[in-house]
Amino acid sequence: MATNREFARTNIGPNNPLFSNFKVMVESAFYGNNVERVTDLATAYANARRAPGVVTTDMPIAHTDELGLPADAKVLVSNDGRVVGRTAAARRIIGQPGIDAKYYADILREAVFAGTRRQFFTGDVVVGLDKEFSVRAHLLLNKDYAANFYSYLLNFQIATTTVLERYAHSNPLPENDIYIYADPDWAHPDFPNGLALFDPTHNVAAILGLRYFGELKKSTLTLAWATAHRNGFTACHGGMKRYDLGTRKFTMAAFGLSGSGKSTITLAKHDGKYKVDVLHDDAFVINRQTGTTTALEPAYFDKTADYAPSDPALQYFLTAQNVGVTLDDAGQKVLVTQEVRNNNGRAIKSRFLTPNRVDHLAEPLNAVFWIMKDDTLPAVLKITDPTLAAVFGATLATKRSTAENLVGKVDMNALVIEPFANPFRCYPLGEDYADFRSIFADGKTACYILNTGFFNGKKVTPGVTLGSIEKIVENQAAFTPFGDIQNVSYLDVPGYPVDFTDADYTARLRARMHDRLEYVKTQKTANAGYNALPDEAEDTLVRLLAEL
């Protein structure tokens, strides 16, 4: 097996580094007499249909046989209340500065005890779709949330007999299986926004008082990415695809927060101009030795904002969350999408949405695209210095999205820095910096920045972004020096002129670059320096500012 689920009795105890009190508390709950195991999607579907408030639409699911669903399965809808996004403020990581492990162990022990008075479902999935990287994960979830349980088994690869036979030949990892304990009905006066508690070293998490399905998905990915990072892989919150141009192939990864255009870029078919293979639009890992890539999930968990009820893509929806339901002119129950009910409506979509899906790419990366929303950056920049390429990834500037449940007063239009577009990192930022810098170090992987927001007040449209990518893929992109900044050039896109004689523009550009420098400086002392970057990151930005 790739990861460890069973142990010889002589290896069970405090001297085994795979054991901790958090692992023992969480795993033990899986074996309670209040727990029912679900081993197939047909049973999970039936349970979800009976869950409180779930709507069974009249929209049939395509490819039911391949998915392991009943032939007459329909799209199920489940809706939450006020909170319809991830709550970053709820996250606590054991082992990070300022986190009192004993305090949180006491909280968790009481939470698990309270859960014994409720009924739970448990089920298994495999995270990582190739033998190069696979981790087995177990979910334990309050039965009232059977719709989320069903979505979880759809989003990841449910551990069927066939899947486990393949998994048995995966590369072994000196790690625990992943265990996720989740009880959305948990409440505590000290945690009004819920608690997402992680012990990443031991691959366990407790998701408490949080209903949003994305918490289950991202908690699992948080632990899978950390496992990958510890074992020779670079963790990637991004999209990955391959273009087949006949005489050569071009592989690219796009990194951005939800709502940045990451999925649009990854899933774009370019009007059939190329044969395009999609690895995934959200989660994958890169083998640091070989450069090969592996998808972590078969399905997609995407926004429904851009899907009209008549869109043919809806035939690939499996479940929907936080969307409406109405009757069409034939009296059938159908989805109301496009953010009518609330922001951040979501759907689990099957892998058959993209018939050109692959689970593993043997070709190393040709290009990395950092997706930003910084109105001082042109539509496309090219970075040719490996240190600067990694620094821009570590200071990726973007805006918050409706996928997040933001606690307190937060300006949604303010520019924020989210390193490598991954708010789910549970290890020091400097380690990700080193991983990504190594990708660029040999000069075989190019680095680009895509601004998918506004440039000098003008929206950069998806057409501009995708057209620019096509030029890069075809080796037709001509880049112009970006002022006097060394190792940075831009693609001259009609309608988006770059004018370094404009004093207002250069002042704003300098301010944005200074923001990046201040962010890097702040990491030296914030959180006891946990996320400090190497001195070269600061030195590189200082030189860039001098060139401005």
Read off the amino acid at residue 363. E
Domain end residue (candidates: 206, 231, 256): 231
At 398 the pLDDT is: 82
pLDDT tens, 455-497? 999 999 999 999 999 999 999 999 999 999 999 999 999 999 9
CA atoms within 13 A on the CB side of 241: 29
Residues 143 and 280 in one domain: no
Domain that holds residue 245: 236-297+359-496
Residue listed under structure tokens 């003008």: 458
The tens digit of pLDDT for each residue in 143-166 reads 999 999 999 999 999 999 999 999
Please tell me the distance from the alpha carbon of residue 433 to that of residue 388, in angstroms, as a whole number: 11
Q: Note whether residue 218 is domain-resident.
A: yes
- Same domain for 368 and 486? yes
Sheet order of strands, 293-295 included: 233-236, 284-287, 293-295, 360-361
Q: Which residue from 174, 168, 178 is spatially nearest to 200, judged by alpha carbons?
A: 178
> Tens digits of per-residue pLDDT, 406-456?
555 555 456 789 999 999 999 999 999 999 999 999 999 999 999 999 999
Residue at 198 is within a domain: yes
**Strand pairing report for 233-236 and 238-244:** unpaired
List the alpha helices (DSSP H) in 182-274. Answer: 213-230, 262-267
Please indicate, yes or no, whether residues 164 and 250 belong to a single structural domain of this protein.
no
Burial class from Cβ neighbours inside 10 Å (0-12, 13-18, 19+) for residue 68 reads middle
Q: At CA 412, angle to CA 98 and CA 193, rounded to 5?
A: 45
Q: Are 41 and 185 found together in one domain? A: yes
The reply to whether 172 and 25 lie within a common domain is: yes
Q: Considering only CA atoms, which of 66, 78, 45, 70 is closest in space to residue 150?
A: 45
Domain co-membership, 227 together with 257: no
pLDDT of res. 381? 98
Shared domain for 378 and 428, answered yes or no, is yes
Closest by CA position to 155, among listed 428, 437, 350, 426: 350
208 plus 221 within the same structural domain: yes
Q: In angstroms, rounded to a whole number, what is the distance separating the alpha carbons of residues 173 and 160?
A: 21
Residue after which a domain boundary falls, among 231, 253, 279: 231
What's the mean pLDDT in 277-300?
96
Domain assignment of residue 518, yes or no:
no
In this structure, the answer to whether residues 268 and 168 fall within a common structural domain is no
- How many domains does the chain contain in total? 2
- pLDDT tens-digit series, residues 11-38: 999 999 999 999 999 999 999 999 999 9
Both 254 and 107 in a single domain?
A: no
Paired strand residues for 464: none
Q: Do 277 and 240 share a domain, yes or no? A: yes
**Whole-angstrom distance, CA of residue 232 vs CA of residue 216:** 25
What is the residue whose two structure tokens read 């037709």?
476
CA distance 56 to 72: 11
Residues 226 and 244 in one domain: no
Last residue of a domain, one of 454, 480, 496: 496
